[in-house]
Structure formats: structure tokens, C-alpha cells
């Protein structure tokens, strides 16, 4: 028996890189597929071969079964690894692989057909005596169940996918009627199947999942459990292993239930059986994900088992590398998902190119990412940027390590949820492990406060000190084409300058006579600062015996992008040896509504237009829906007004700050 010699990876980004890494361990060649916009991505560069899918909608690229199968055949690939998302749970795709004598790295198509359908999986679980919450399938042509049969609130969920895509919490029958179409559309767009089901929403539940592995020789084991209760809008953002709140008895019941389900379908490959646990300690089967999970790394860290290597060996026909008795837990692992999204604007995806990031380096950290500097994230893809995994002896030390390391990530470019994650890690309820799937909703205001009030006095002082240093003091990073920039402007620096920080103009008086001890005066207060540990885009600034690590990079000649403690700021300043332009543009507060124009908050595609020209609208009315990075973003009316002109159509591609609607005052 021999290992596979070449596989095609039907995915992209960090999971494609992850698969490539394990394939290289086993000397298996890899073929990457990519769209035109990602031709320079790391996963494309590191694969042994790469084939372009072209460009366009997902249906033409990563959801195009025929095209992917033909690429696999033409490259002499023996197998296809689907990763997660896209076609990973698509039975039709697995069947097409089988028909074309390609190995699908995952369960058999009939198992996918059964377990990939969450309603059918629930039926099977119930028949095995596993507790299941109420659910009801909704086909596109079906009518909804009678209102009296539903105990609200309920969740609308995609039958053939996960990741929170298409999921909606509804409180009553009218809401259910209104949101079914939207959820079906998202499911169809992301998973190629718009079938839905509704599921009883369990209040204050904790989300537990069991990692399983099965080979083609009837051997099935579990790798214990993970907790994934920290979720925002049904999307997991922090996961950990093991779930230390479980009693030994409850853990045993859940592990046994997961194994019973896996054995019932003779499962092969890697999969996850997911459960909800209520406040009373009752557990309910939720779904089975017959694929690798985004959060698989925390299980690998506490068991020492490379799950992707196991997938590749299983698909090559080998037995599992370990028996159940050999699976041991050691330590505690926590994963953070860093997303390109803006918490200040209801987490709209941010497609601004990434200019700078400080990747933490620590022997107890594992980083999974496929980020590329100066490249924007294609708006049809998930906005995941980085996964940071900390593994230590216990939960407390893992939390502390993440708190210490994430504070200096300091991404410049897209807005991210980094500070949001940092705030969760410091929250008393999280530290005490008093959490549920409603944690982020319950503490929403606290978690986004840093984004809404992002420029307090300490941050302002560090921002100004950084701008002065980068602009007027000598840079110790090597010769520059501009000799003045290399030598510094400290001798000719004006005593007073204007800086525009996040749209607000400040008059700053400089004292750079002693460049080793520079200072400035702002609002009558003198601030002395010192700089150390200067790297390419990173420096440590000390003010009043407090040191902050700051990222800073010139976005162009006049704009300095800064990130202080994971909050981004923009500084406009006088061009070196040039006059500062006296305009009012720089005092723009950055809002997306002014002069009776409503602008797009992001790059994306118009999915819905819910108004007509000359229509009277009220504050809060839904005007449009924009799709970006697989999320639907609602544009609401900022006031009562009349729609004077609609500047876009359904299907239009729009850019950040592009005018969508012109309004006029009610008379």
C-alpha cells in the first residue's frame, strides 16, 4: 500500500496552505486552484502546481464541479481535498469524484448525502436515541409549518453548510416569513443548495463539538471535544480544547453519542459531531460536519495528532495511525479568529488592502494565515485573516498568553475585530469561563466600545509622537533616496504644525532641539517621549513611563496609517518642506451620510433595492442590501426624507464610499 502521490486542493487561503503543509510532510504533490485576483497568494506559490479557475461568481470558480474535476484529471491528480466550506459537504461533488475515479478526501458520497443534510442527520440521531431539539426542513417550494407548531425563538439554518452562513434568529412567525428568502439565497450562493431548516433555539446554550476520525477498515475514534461558545452572529470566533466545564459524566455521554452516530454511518475521514448543552446540563445533537473544521488546530495541539495527515493516510487506504487508547490530552489550547471587519459599523467586511501586520512570535503560539500585504480581500470570500492558537498547560495561562501577544498585532489597512477579541479575553465572564453562545450579544456594547470611542487622550499622544518621529526625526532604517528623510528634519522643523488625526485638526507645538529627548505641546500640555526598538513598520514609544508598541506606515505622501493597541488611526500632516493645504476636506468625520448622499460602507454587490425614486422614507427603513465576503449588509435610512435618485442597480458592483442614494428634505 502506498500513499497518494498527487492531490488537488479544491479550496483557497489558509486551509489550502494547511493542507499543503501536511502533504509536504508525506511527500505528496499538491495542485492549487485559484481565481485571477489571487494569482500571487501564498498557497498558489507554495503548491507544486497551480491552475487558474478564471474569475467571476463562485458558481464559475470554486463551486464549479465540472471545471474542478477536469483540472484534477488534466493534472493527473489522484484525489481532491475539499478543505472546509465551498464543496466540502457537497454529495454531488463527492459522487462526481467517484465517477471519474478520483478519491474524494472525506466520507463516501452516500454518507455526505445523509450527514451533509442537517435535517436528515437529526432524524438519524433521534432514531439512535440521541437527544435532538425540535427542527423542521424547509424546501424552496414548501410552505412553512403552522405557527402553533413552532415554539419561538428558532434559528433558520442552511441544510448543507455551516459557518453561520444564512443563519438567522427569529422571534416570531412574521420574522420567519420575512427572513426565509434571504437565508435561502445566502445558502444557495455559498453552498450551492438553498435548502433550509428551522431549529429550536436553546437559551444560554454552550456549543460543544467532538472531533472524530474513521478509516476504511471500520476503525473509528474520537479526539475528545472542543468548546466553540464564543460566537458573533452565529460565527465562531474563539474556540478551545478541551471543554473544561464538562463533568466527567457529561463528557462521556457526549463522546459516546458522537461515536454512536459515526459508527451508524461507517464514517471515514475527519468529521465533527456538534452538540448544544443547556443551563441544566441537558445535551442535544445539533449537526455533523463531515469535513475538516476551521478550528481543528486546537485539537491537534492538545492531542499531538495531525488531522490533515490522517485524512491523507485514510484516503490512501491506510489504517488509523492511533487507537482510541493512545489518544491522550495534554494542556489547553485556544484559537482566535481575526477577521477583516469593522465592529464600529455592525461588522461590515473591510476589503481595504493590508499594509502592515506584526505577526507574534512565541514557541507556544501557532499562526495559520494566508495574508498578503498590499492585496485586498476578494469580496466573495470569507474575511478571515489570521488564526492565532495558543497552547499551554492550562486555560488561564493560555488566555494570558493570548492577551499578551495579541495586543501588539496592530494591523494597518482593513479594519479588524482584533481589539474586539482582546476585549473578550479580558472580560471577567470569559476569564471565569461563564460563557454561552449569547456572550457576544449580551456584552455587545462593552465589546465594541473601543471602536466607537477610539481616540482617547493616551492614544492621541502616542499617535502624535509617532507622527513627529516618522516625519521630523532621523530614521534608523537605512539610507533613503531622499537624503532629508534619512538625516531627519529636526533642524528645520517648524515650531508649530497642524495634524489631522481621525478627521480632527490639532495644533501641535514641537520642541526638537534635543532630538534624543523630543517633546511637543498639545492643548497647553507638554509631552516628552522616547523611541526604541524601531523595526521596519514598528516602534516602541514611551510616554510617562508607559511604553506602547505602535505600527506606522505611510499610505501615501500625506497620510500616515497608525495602529496603537489594535486600534487604527489616520494622520494627515504637512508634506515635508511643503505648505499644508488649508481645506475643510480633512475635517470630514468619516460618516457615510452627508450632503443628502448615502454612501456605500464597503466594496460589494447590490443584492436588493427596497425603495423607489420619489418615495418617502422613514429613519431606519431598509434601503438596500449589499453582499460582501459572503455577508449581507443592510443599508438603513439615516433620517426621514424623499428618495431623489438611486445611483445603482441590483447586481451593480460598488466600492467603498461610492454614492448609492441621493435624498432630499421633506417639506
pLDDT of residue 579: 31
**What confidence score (pLDDT) does residue 155 get?**
82
Report which of residues 352 and 219 the model is more confident about.
Answer: 219
**8-65 residue pLDDT tens:** 999 999 999 999 999 999 999 999 999 998 999 999 999 999 999 998 888 899 999 9
pLDDT of residue 105: 98
Verify that 357 and 377 share a domain, yes or no.
yes
The reply to whether 433 falls in a domain is yes
Work out the average pLDDT over 591-614. Answer: 81
CATH code of the domain covering residue 66: 3.40.50.20
Q: What percent of the chain has pLDDT over 70?
A: 90
Sequence-distant (≥ 6) Cβ neighbours of residue 152 within 8 angstroms: 170, 171, 172, 173, 201
- Residue 356 DSSP one-character state: B
Give one DSSP letter per residue of 86-126, joined into a string: TTTT-HHHHHHHHHTT-EESSS-HHHHHHHSSHHHHHHHHH
pLDDT digits (tens, 9 = 90+) for 73-95: 999 999 999 999 899 989 999 99
Same domain? 187 vs 56: no
- Do 36 and 52 share a domain, yes or no? yes
Using one digit for the tens of pLDDT, what is the confidence trace for 654-663? 877 789 999 9
Top pLDDT among 514 and 161 is at 514
State the Cα–Cα distance between residues 467 and 253, nearest whole angstrom. Answer: 58
Using the predicted structure, report yes or no on whether residue 478 has a pLDDT greater than 50.
no
Q: What is the reported pLDDT for 156?
A: 85
User: Is residue 112 in a domain?
Assistant: no
In the predicted model, is pLDDT for residue 178 greater than 90?
A: no
**602 and 474 within one domain:** no
Range of the domain at 73: 6-105
- Give the end of a domain, one of 61, 83, 105: 105
Angle 248-264/118-127 helices, nearest 10 degrees?
110
> Per-residue pLDDT for 569 more than 50?
yes
Question: 423, 448, 473 — which closes off a domain?
Answer: 448
Kindly state the helix (H) or strand (E) to which residue 403 belongs, with its residue range. helix 395-406
Sheet-wide strand order for 567-572: 525-528, 519-522, 504-511, 496-501, 567-572, 559-564, 546-554, 538-543, 530-532
Instruction: Classify residue 92: in a domain, yes or no.
Output: yes
What is the count of structural domains for the chain? 4
Q: Is residue 110 a part of any domain in this protein? A: no
Judge if 514 and 385 occupy the same domain: no
Q: What is the CATH number of the domain that holds 134?
A: 3.30.470.20
Q: How far is CA 642 from CA 91, 566, 603, 610, 618, in A?
A: 49, 40, 25, 14, 9
pLDDT of residue 152: 83
Residue 580 scores a pLDDT above 70 = no
444 and 469 share one domain = no
Predicted local confidence at residue 377, as pLDDT: 54
Is 178 domain-assigned? yes
β-bridge partners, 520: 510, 527
pLDDT at 622 over 60: yes
503 and 640 fall within a common domain: no
pLDDT band for position 116 (50/70/90)? confident
pLDDT digits (tens, 9 = 90+) for 295-309: 999 999 999 999 999
Considering the domain boundaries, does residue 184 fall inside one?
yes
Q: How far apart are CA 85 and CA 293, in angstroms?
A: 9
Residue 162: predicted pLDDT: 64
Residue 111 lies in a domain: no
Res 97 pLDDT > 90: yes
User: pLDDT per residue over 309-350, tens digit each?
Assistant: 999 999 999 999 999 999 999 999 999 999 999 998 888 888
The predicted pLDDT at position 631 comes to 65
Query: Would you list the DSSP string of 310-348?
Result: HHHHHHTTPPPSS-GGG----SEEEEEEEESEEGGGTTE
pLDDT, tens digit, 9 for 90 and up, residues 197-216: 888 888 899 999 999 999 99
My answer on whether 582 and 598 are in the same domain is no
Are 599 and 569 found together in one domain? no
Average pLDDT, integer, range 553-568: 89
Residue 477 has pLDDT above 50, yes or no: no
Same domain (yes/no): 433, 470: no
**120 noted as active-site residue:** no
3-state secondary structure of 616: strand
Q: Which residues pair with 136 in a beta bridge?
A: 198
**Where does the pLDDT of residue 234 fall: very low under 50, low under 70, confident under 90, or very high at 90 and above?**
confident
Q: Are residues 343 and 481 in the same domain?
A: no
Q: What is the pLDDT of residue 489?
A: 47
pLDDT of 632 reads 72
- Please tell me the predicted confidence (pLDDT) of residue 365: 97
- Output the average pLDDT for the chain: 87
- What residues contact 410, with CB distance under 8 A and at least 6 apart? 356, 357, 358, 538, 549, 550, 551, 563, 564, 565, 566
Is residue 389 a contact partner of residue 334, using CB atoms and an 8 Å limit?
yes
Higher pLDDT, 471 or 603: 471
pLDDT at 115: 84
Residues 147, 71 within the same domain: no
pLDDT tier at 138, thresholds 50, 70, 90: confident
Selecting among 206, 251, 291, 549, the annotated active-site residue is: 291
Domain end call among 51, 79, 105: 105
Residues in the chain: 667
Residue 181 CB: number of other CB atoms within 10 A? 13
Residue 139 reports pLDDT greater than 50: yes
Residue range 352-358: mean pLDDT, rounded: 89
**1 assigned to some structural domain:** no
Place 193 in a pLDDT band, splitting at 50, 70 and 90: confident
Amino acid at each position: 500500500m502506498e500513499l497518494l502521490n498527487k492531490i488537488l486542493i479544491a479550496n483557497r487561503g489558509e486551509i489550502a496552505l494547511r493542507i499543503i503543509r501536511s502533504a509536504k510532510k508525506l511527500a505528496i504533490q499538491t495542485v492549487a486552484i485559484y481565481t485571477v485576483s489571487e494569482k500571487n497568494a501564498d498557497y498558489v506559490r507554495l503548491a507544486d502546481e497551480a491552475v487558474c479557475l478564471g474569475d467571476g461568481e463562485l458558481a464559475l470558480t470554486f463551486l464549479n464541479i465540472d471545471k474542478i474535476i477536469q483540472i484534477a484529471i488534466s493534472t493527473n491528480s489522484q484525489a481532491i481535498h475539499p478543505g472546509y466550506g465551498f464543496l466540502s459537504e457537497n454529495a454531488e461533488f463527492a459522487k462526481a469524484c467517484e465517477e471519474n475515479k478520483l478519491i474524494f478526501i472525506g466520507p463516501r458520497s452516500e454518507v455526505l448525502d445523509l450527514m451533509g443534510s442537517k435535517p436528515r442527520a437529526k432524524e438519524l440521531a433521534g432514531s439512535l436515541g440521541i437527544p435532538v431539539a425540535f427542527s423542521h426542513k424547509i424546501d424552496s417550494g414548501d410552505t412553512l409549518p403552522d405557527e402553533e407548531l413552532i415554539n419561538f425563538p428558532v434559528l433558520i439554518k442552511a441544510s448543507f453548510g455551516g459557518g453561520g452562513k444564512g443563519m438567522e434568529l427569529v422571534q416570531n412567525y412574521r420574522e420567519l416569513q420575512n427572513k426565509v428568502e434571504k437565508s435561502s439565497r445566502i445558502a444557495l450562493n455559498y453552498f450551492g443548495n438553498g435548502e433550509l431548516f428551522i431549529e429550536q433555539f436553546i437559551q444560554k446554550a454552550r456549543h460543544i463539538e467532538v472531533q472524530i476520525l474513521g478509516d476504511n477498515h471500520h476503525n473509528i475514534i474520537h479526539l475528545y471535544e472542543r468548546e466553540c461558545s464564543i460566537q458573533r452572529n452565529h460565527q465562531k470566533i474563539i474556540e478551545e480544547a478541551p471543554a473544561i466545564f464538562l463533568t466527567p459524566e457529561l463528557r462521556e455521554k457526549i463522546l459516546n453519542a458522537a461515536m454512536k452516530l459515526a459508527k451508524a454511518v461507517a464514517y471515514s475521514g475527519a468529521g465533527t459531531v456538534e452538540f448544544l448543552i443547556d443551563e441544566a446540563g441537558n445535551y442535544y445533537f445539533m449537526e455533523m460536519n463531515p469535513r475538516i473544521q476551521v478550528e481543528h488546530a486546537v485539537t491537534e495541539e492538545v492531542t499531538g495528532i495531525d488531522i490533515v495527515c490522517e485524512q491523507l493516510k485514510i484516503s490512501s487506504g491506510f489504517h488509523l495511525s492511533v487507537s482510541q487508547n493512545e489518544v491522550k490530552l495534554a494542556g489547553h489550547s485556544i484559537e482566535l479568529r481575526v477577521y477583516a471587519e469593522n465592529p464600529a459599523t455592525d461588522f461590515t467586511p473591510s476589503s481595504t488592502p493590508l499594509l502592515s501586520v506584526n505577526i507574534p512570535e512565541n514557541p507556544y503560539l501557532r499562526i495559520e494565515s494566508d495574508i498578503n500585504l498590499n492585496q485586498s480581500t476578494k469580496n466573495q470570500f470569507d474575511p478571515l485573516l489570521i488564526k492565532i492558537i495558543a497552547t499551554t498547560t492550562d486555560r488561564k495561562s493560555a488566555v494570558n498568553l493570548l492577551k499578551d501577544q495579541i495586543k501588539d498585532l496592530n494591523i494597518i489597512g482593513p479594519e479588524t475585530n482584533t481589539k474586539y477579541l482582546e476585549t473578550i479575553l479580558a472580560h471577567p465572564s470569559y476569564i471565569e469561563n461563564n460563557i454561552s453562545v449569547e456572550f457576544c450579544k449580551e456584552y455587545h456594547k462593552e465589546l465594541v466600545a473601543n471602536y466607537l470611542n477610539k481616540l482617547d487622550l493616551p492614544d492621541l499622544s502616542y499617535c502624535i509622537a509617532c507622527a513627529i518621529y516618522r516625519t521630523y526625526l532621523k530614521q534608523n532604517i537605512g539610507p533613503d533616496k531622499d537624503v532629508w528623510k534619512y538625516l531627519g528634519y529636526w533642524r528645520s522643523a517648524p515650531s508649530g504644525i497642524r495634524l489631522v488625526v481621525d478627521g480632527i485638526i490639532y495644533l501641535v507645538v514641537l520642541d526638537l532641539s534635543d532630538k534624543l529627548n523630543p517633546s511637543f505641546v498639545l492643548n497647553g500640555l507638554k509631552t516628552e517621549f522616547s523611541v526604541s526598538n524601531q523595526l521596519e513598520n514598528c516602534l516602541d514609544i514611551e510616554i510617562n513611563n508607559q511604553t506602547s508598541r505602535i505600527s506606522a506606515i505611510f499610505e501615501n505622501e500625506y497620510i500616515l496609517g497608525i495602529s496603537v493597541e489594535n486600534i487604527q488611526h489616520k494622520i494627515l500632516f504637512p508634506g515635508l518642506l511643503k505648505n499644508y493645504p488649508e481645506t475643510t476636506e480633512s475635517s470630514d468625520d468619516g460618516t457615510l451620510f452627508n450632503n443628502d448622499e448615502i454612501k456605500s460602507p464597503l466594496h460589494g454587490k447590490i443584492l436588493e433595492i427596497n425603495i423607489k425614486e420619489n418615495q418617502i422614507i422613514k429613519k431606519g427603513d431598509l434601503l438596500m442590501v449589499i453582499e460582501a465576503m459572503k455577508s449581507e449588509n443592510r443599508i438603513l435610512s439615516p433620517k426621514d426624507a424623499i428618495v431623489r435618485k438611486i445611483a445603482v442597480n441590483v447586481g451593480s458592483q460598488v466600492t467603498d464610499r461610492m454614492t448609492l442614494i441621493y435624498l432630499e428634505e421633506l417639506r
